[in-house]
Structures are given as structure tokens and as C-alpha cells.
Amino acid sequence: AQSVTQLGSHVSVSEGALVLLRCNYSSSVPPYLFWYVQYPNQGLQLLLKYTSAATLVKGINGFEAEFKKSETSFHLTKPSAHMSDAAEYFCAVSATSGTYKYIFGTGTRLKVLA
């Protein structure tokens, strides 16, 4: 069965500092992986996705993630945090059969300190 683990339910960084949000997956087949962001009172918005075309994936708002098969990881990074990045971030893998439902991690709430 597929699963996703997000280490750190809360992460705080200073404005301008590197953002690193961790996601590890478990899958017996090549996975399709997603990062979503949820701002207050809004729906989950796709940041980026991995579909095997390239291991380094660039997304919106300056975020990127690198797929590392050897480490079963898909960590999300941004070189310089902005106050507007404060939100909850979800990593997910799509099921490889059925209706391709998403299997989510527990989410990481990012706080950006001035």
C-alpha cells in the first residue's frame, strides 16, 4: 500500500531563510507525487507535481521539489521565505489503481517570522 509521511507538523523559519518541508513516500511502483498549499479559508492549491519527466520539479511561488528514489523523498524547498508563504502544506501520492485517489501526509504548517 502507498503512504506518505511528512516530518514536522509545524515548521518556523525567518523571512528570507530557506524553507524545507519534508515528505517521504512508500510505493511499490513509480509514484506520482504532489505538493498542495492551503492558505486560510481557501482550498488546497497545487504547488507542483512529480510525474517522472524530471526529478527536479519547479512549481509556483518559487517552490521546487526534488524526487529522490534512493531516499524515497520528495522534499519541498524555497530559497527565501516570504511572509506570504505562511500556510499549511500537504504532500500526497496518487493511488496507482482505482480512481487515483490521493493519499496524503498529515500536513505541515509553515510559520514565517519577521
Partner 1 sequence: EPEVTQTPSHQVTQMGQEVILRCVPISNHLYFYWYRQILGQKVEFLVSFYNNEISEKSEIFDDQFSVERPDGSNFTLKIRSTKLEDSAMYFCATTPIRVPEGEQFFGPGTRLTVL
The contact set with partner 1 (CB under 8 A) reads: 9, 32, 34, 36, 41-46, 49, 51, 90, 92, 94-96, 98-107
For the CB of residue 101, give the shortest distance to partner 1 in the complex, in Å. 4
Q: Would you give the DSSP letter of residue 60?
A: G
In whole angstroms, how close is the CB of 97 to partner 1 at the nearest point? 9
- In whole angstroms, the minimum distance from the beta carbon of 14 to partner 1 comes to 26
